[in-house]
Amino acid sequence: MDEDNEERAAPPEPEPLPLWRNRDYTIWWSGVAVSKLGTSISTLAFPLLVLAVTGSTTAAGVVGTCVGVGVVAGLLPAGVAADRLPRRTLLIGASLVQLAAMCAVFWTVAAGQVRLPLISALALVQGLAAAVFGGAAAPVVKRLVPRSQLKTAFARVEARDFGAQMAGAPLGGILFALAHSAPFLVDALSFGAVALACVFLRTPLGPDVADRAAGRPPLHRDLGAGLAFIRGSAFLRYAVLWSALINLFFTGLGFMFIVSLREHGASPSEIGAAESIATACGLGGALAAGWVVRRVSGYRIVLAVSWMVPVGVGGVVLLASRPWLAALCLGASIVLVTPLNIVFASGMVTTVPDAVAARVLTSANMAAQSLGWLAPVLCGALADAFGVDFPLIAIAVGLALLALTNHLVPVVRQLGQAPDGGEEAESGTDPAPETVR
């Protein structure tokens, strides 16, 4: 009886503060938002710069591919480093390297000495540093946000990223039209902003001293630990493979959208505005994501997105000479991307011990991005050989085949539930990790 009275008398756990009053989360969210804005600006400017200098779509694709190669090559070592070394130091160091690389691009362009090998090398450095930042950032939200608020934090991350893209695309076009070097200076400053944000965080970012002091396996085994975890689950194997193919097609689509509109006479400002329209559709989907995932099964969301994207790509091919209509077609194809991400986040990501979180999350990220680096240079070569419509048509066909496959693979039907059989909207699931820039 006394024990029952003690249990009844125990005070309830205090409610966590709203996210907007969570100092460290707000600083982290804001710093990364500025950084994402800078990346969105330079992402538009890079292909426009190389096209203006060389006139070659293949050359423009080489730069994007170098960034992708750097990211994919660096993710596994970055995950191991983030579980062995202080993550705050890695975040600040990676941001400063990216700042230096983008300053070098700025000075090169401002001096009128644009050389494709140099720009490509700087893009590779940028990708490697982005991988280090992504590896260290993967467990950060888990450190800053109470477990009960993780899904809300994830939704706000998605809205932040779409908002940065929506604002960055037109701003990048305007800055590029004013001066070809201006977008790269702005991106350099954005890396300084996120480095400062990391300095001002009070929460320990890990890994904890006990985890670092514990005996570690040999480095080669540590590198493969995350992939081994993924290989042990049929669901995760499918999810990573599907994500890799989707990233390949989406990376090619984003690159060819810029090239196609430019080929049909659109100005940099018009291209930026068109990208902003498409991104606004994605932002609308992000804002409605909670409502969608509560009312539509994950299986139906996957099938819907799978078929909407190839239809949207077909619309881009037909309407590339009308940037606003092409943008609406692209926007219609990505409007449900955020609900789709939530479906996979709920299905893929379970509670991972902090000591191995970076390795597992960066391994999944690396595997999902393992094909995307091919897209810019491959699409550029196809466009130079067969015209700008050919890569877009090939992307539409590939996406349609992938959509058809989703009807045939049994594991897709499990997307309405988490791997352990729980509901996909369980509050105990972690959000997806911060995406690599």
pLDDT score at 437: 46
Q: Inter-axis angle of helices 354-368 and 219-231, to 10 degrees? A: 70
Give the start-to-end residue ranges of the domains of the chain.
19-416
What single DSSP character describes residue 145?
S
Q: What band does 49 get if pLDDT is binned at 50, 70 and 90?
A: very high
Give the SS3 label for residue 339. Answer: helix
Give the SS3 label for residue 423. Answer: strand
pLDDT score at 419: 38
3 pLDDT more than 50:
no
Closest by CA position to 132, among listed 218, 68, 70: 70
Q: CA 185, 330, 327 angle in degrees (round to 5)?
A: 65
Domain 19-416 matching CATH 1.20.1250.20: the answer reads yes
Sign of torsion over alpha carbons 267, 273, 279, 281: negative
Q: What band does 30 get if pLDDT is binned at 50, 70 and 90?
A: very high
Give pLDDT tens digits for 159-192: 788 888 888 888 998 999 999 999 999 999 999 9
The rounded percent of the chain whose pLDDT value lies above 70 is: 83
Q: CA 208, 76, 251 angle in degrees (round to 5)?
A: 125
Closest by CA position to 19, among listed 137, 143, 136, 156: 156
Average of per-residue pLDDT values in the chain: 82
φ and ψ of 303, to 5 deg: -65, -40
Q: Are 194 and 108 in contact (CB under 8 A)?
A: no
Q: What band does 216 get if pLDDT is binned at 50, 70 and 90?
A: low
Closest by CA position to 252, among listed 434, 404, 57: 57
Give pLDDT tens digits for 264-304: 999 988 998 898 898 888 888 878 877 887 788 878 888 88
| Cα separation values, 47 from 11, 95, 120, 234, 268, Å | 59, 23, 12, 38, 11
Total count of residues recorded for the chain: 437
| Cα separation values, 170 from 177, 254, 271, Å | 11, 15, 7
